Amino acid sequence: MFNETVISEINEIRGKYPDRRSALLPSLYIAQREFGWLSHEAMTCVAKTLNLPEADVRGTASFYSMFKNAPVGRHVIQICTNVSCMILGAEKLVDIVGAKYGVTSGGTSEDGRFSLVIMECIGACGTAPAMLVDTDFYENLTETNILEILDKYK
Amino acid sequence: MENFLLRNIDNPKSADISEYEKAGGYKNMEKALSMDADNILGEVKTAGLRGRGGAGFPTGMKWTFAKADPKFPKYLMCNADEGEPGTFKDRPILEKNPHLLIEGMVISGYVLGAEYGHIYLRGEYPEAKDILNAAIKQAYDKKYLGDNIMGKGFKFELSVHQGAGAYICGEETALIESIEGKKGQPRNKPPFPVNVGAWGMPTIVNNVETLSNLPYIMEIGGEAYAKIGSAECPGPKLFSVSGFVQNPGVYELPMGTTLRDIIFKHAGGMRDGKKLKAVIPGGISTPVLPETGIDCAMDFVAMPKAGSMLGSGAVIVMDESVCMVKVTYRALKFFEHESCGKCVPCREGTDWLRKILGRIEGGDGRQGDVELLSDVAAMIAGKTFCPLGDGAAGVVAGMIKYFKSEFDEHINDGKCKFSA
């Protein structure tokens, strides 16, 4: 179960909405932060804290691509390959990162350092190609600077 | 035209409340709170403000419906789920001018009699979340939010609700489902959200840019505002320009600026002296236009006549190196991934389109595939629960209309000549 601090954090969020289910998405984010991904246990904790059916919690979580249904690496690389990024070479960047760190789209490198996610648009089309590493934005990527950036994430 | 929505964003501290106030910020809110709410609504109607999220619905009319509903409380939702590929226009407001949005929301809440506001922010904008939360805290500390704002007896509570990576949540009823903690699947209409929205109550969903226009309307008045840009849908408009232009970025220009001017006058023209091939004018849900079709005025009235849509004003510029089949294929991968699965034409149709496009691009296209694409697209258009399916169908139809020869070439040659 969540510790007291997390439970009070969730209770505070509940206060912002007229019903408890509306606190579900924020609570799933908290569970993901605490457990690293949304394991069965993590979702059970959310269901118990919000007093919601577990099926509702799991059904909702599975709809959203930012909730992880499997463990992820220490850092998550999210490269946009939608049209604006694609026409400026994003797919090549995916190949370069994949080859360098031995990671495929949707997978995690063997050493657990990186997970790679192919993203839909991340709203950085004017500075394409772009990626998010964890919560850090990187824009105007090139075949060389992308590896220099990733090197900083150990 | 002087910038309003992007005013001061070059100031590195523009997101701070004291800088915003120094530039005249929150004065328009103070003015509004001293006025009669119905008079402000009158100004919004005179201004002719139309929703900037893509549909272009008259804001004053939407507000009138919500106000007329006797149920309370009413909720004001800011749609900051900016997910339409090619669009990044709300990001500078959210990250660099958050107090403009807050001020716009308080004014709107006052007009509507809504005491609770939520900003539904896409999950992919983690920086904006921190900036907005800091700005909201500053506004509470200054009594610009909370009980009895500026001593005028109006209460408005505001918070940020983070989405989790579902494009469909930009559709207003899906957004409401999502904020209620459910899967983001659109609701049947009617009833419309202005009557039965979040938690069963009247709910007004407006785009970031729409709400950010409110302080400007207060500042210059509805009549002066109505003189900016296109007569039928006036005001300043943010355009996100990306792709093969010299200076990609967000431009604040009068509504109705031509696509040609946006690309060649404001964004510096084509990069590396290349030739313009095609433009997606309003985000990837809008039909493509060829090089010969860019002399159209970018507004909600003129663009449908030109064979496309204004959408979110996201201009994606492509040169001759770009394969249109590949762009269509990528767009359909997106629509298939983002289809919520609720209705069959969209869920199955986007999957079919993506598969057919994939084989054409991969060199395995069959004779008759172009006709099949048109057929499937026609089966989706107008038959889906929400506009996502229409968008997917329109993209395919538009590409075939202008670039059919490129599809034929892929099929006849058994390869894509653009992929080296």
Domains along the sequence of chain B with CATH: 17-226 (3.40.50.11540), 236-319 (3.10.20.600), 324-413 (1.20.1440.230)
Phi first, then psi, for residue A137 (nearest 5°) are -85, 135
Confidence band, pLDDT 50/70/90 cuts, at residue B109: very high
Q: With CB atoms and an 8 Å threshold, state whether A135 touches B127.
A: yes
* Overall domain count for chain A: 2
Please check the confidence at residue A20 and state whether its pLDDT lies above 80: yes
Percent of chain B clearing pLDDT 90 (strictly above): 99
- Quick one: average pLDDT of B241-254? 98
The structure's pTM equals 0.97
Query: Would you say residue A89 lies in a domain?
Result: yes
| pLDDT confidence of residue B420 | 62
| pLDDT confidence of residue B2 | 82
Same domain, A101 and A138: yes
Q: With CB atoms and an 8 Å threshold, state whether A120 touches B122.
A: no
Rounded Cα distance, B273 and B70, in Å: 60
Same domain, A89 and A21: no
- Quick one: average pLDDT of B301-326? 97
Residue-wise pLDDT for A68-98, tens only, equals 999 999 999 999 999 999 999 999 999 999 9
B225 and B237 Cβ atoms separated by less than 8 Å: no
Residue-wise pLDDT for B346-397, tens only, equals 999 999 999 999 999 999 999 999 999 999 999 999 999 999 999 999 999 9
Rounded Cα distance, A35 and A45, in Å: 11
Cβ–Cβ contact B314 with A under 8 A? yes
Same domain, A79 and A146: yes
Residue-wise pLDDT for A29-70, tens only, equals 999 999 999 999 999 999 999 999 999 999 999 999 999 999
Same domain, A32 and A97: no
Q: With CB atoms and an 8 Å threshold, state whether B284 touches A24.
A: no
Q: Residue B177: is it exposed, middle or buried by C-beta count within 10 angstroms (0-12/13-18/19+)?
A: buried
Residue-wise pLDDT for A93-102, tens only, equals 999 999 999 9
Amino acid at B229: G
Query: Would you say residue A68 lies in a domain?
Result: no
Confidence band, pLDDT 50/70/90 cuts, at residue B1: low
Same domain, A57 and A84: no
DSSP B68-98: H---S-EEEEEEE---STT--SHHHHHHH-H
DSSP B137-155: HHHHHTTSSBSSGGGSS--
Query: Would you say residue A56 lies in a domain?
Result: yes
Phi first, then psi, for residue B38 (nearest 5°) are -65, -30
Please check the confidence at residue A119 and state whether its pLDDT lies above 70: yes
Domain of A115 in residue numbering reads as 75-151
Q: How far is A30 from chain B (nearest CA, A)?
A: 12
Please check the confidence at residue B319 and state whether its pLDDT lies above 90: yes
Residue A4, both tokens = 């007291």
- Quick one: average pLDDT of B49-57? 95
Q: With CB atoms and an 8 Å threshold, state whether A87 touches B318.
A: yes
- Chain B interface, mutation test: which of A60, A84, A135, most B Cβ atoms within 10 Å? A84
End-to-end CA distance of chain B: 44
How would you list the strands of the sheet with A114-119, edge to edge? A114-119, A75-80, A131-133, A136-138
Cβ–Cβ contact B172 with A under 8 A? no
Confidence band, pLDDT 50/70/90 cuts, at residue B8: confident
Please check the confidence at residue B189 and state whether its pLDDT lies above 90: yes
Please report the ipTM that was assigned to this predicted complex.
0.96
Q: From B317, which residue of chain A is nearest by alpha-carbon distance?
A: A84
Rounded Cα distance, B284 and B269, in Å: 21
Same domain, A44 and A81: no
- Quick one: average pLDDT of B269-288? 97
Same domain, A47 and A91: no
Which CATH number do you get for residue A10?
1.10.10
Mean pLDDT for chain B overall: 97
Same domain, A25 and A83: no
- Chain B interface, mutation test: which of A30, A83, A85, most B Cβ atoms within 10 Å? A83
Same domain, A35 and A56: yes
Query: Would you say residue A70 lies in a domain?
Result: no
